[in-house]
Amino acid sequence: MNSCRYGKHMMMDDPFNVLRPRTVTVRVSAKVNLALGVGSLELDGFHPLATVFEAIGIHDEVTLTRRDDNRITLTVAGEDADQIPTDETNLAWRAVELVREEFDMEWGECNRGVDIHIDKSIPIAGGMAGGSADAAGALLAAAALCRLPECPENLHPLAAQLGSDVPFCLMGGVALGRGRGDRLAPVICRGRHHWVIATSKQGLSTPAVYHRFDQMGGNPGGESVPNTLIAALTRGDLDAVAATMSNDLQAPALDLRPELGEVLAVGQHAGALTGLVSGSGPTCAFLVRDIVGAKKVSAAVSSLPQVDRTRTAFGPVAGAQVLPGPEGSFA
Ligand code: C5P
pLDDT at 147: 72
Among candidate residues 23, 164, 155, the one with its CA nearest the CA of residue 91? 164
Average of per-residue pLDDT values in the chain: 90
Mean pLDDT of the 16-22 span: 66
Ligand 1 nearest atom to the CA of residue 210, by list position: 20
Ligand 1 centre to CA of 124 (Å) is: 16
**Cβ atoms within 10 Å, residue 196:** 27
Predicted local confidence at residue 149, as pLDDT: 63
Answer whether residue 331 shows pLDDT above 70. Answer: no
Q: What's the pLDDT score for residue 126?
A: 80
CA of 54 to the centre of ligand 1 (A): 20
Please check the confidence at residue 6 and state whether its pLDDT lies above 60.
Answer: no
Query: Is 295 among the residues known to form the active site?
Result: no
pLDDT of 225 reads 97
Question: Best substitution site from 47, 210, 248, 256 to test ligand 1's pocket, by max atoms within 8 Å of Cβ?
Answer: 210
Is 0.75 topped by the overall pTM? Answer: yes
The C-alpha atoms of residue 174 and residue 213 are separated, in whole angstroms, by 26
Q: Is 31 a catalytic residue?
A: yes
Catalytic residue among 165, 182, 248, 308: 165
Nearest CA to ligand 1 atom 18: 46
Tens of pLDDT along 260-317?
Answer: 999 999 999 999 999 999 999 999 999 999 999 999 999 999 999 999 999 999 999 9
263 Rama sector, left if φ>0, alpha if ψ -120 to 50, beta otherwise = alpha
Lowest-pLDDT range, 3-7, 25-29, 228-232, 321-325?
3-7
> What band does 101 get if pLDDT is binned at 50, 70 and 90?
confident
Ligand 1 binding residues, C-beta < 6 A: 45-47, 49, 164, 180, 206-207, 210
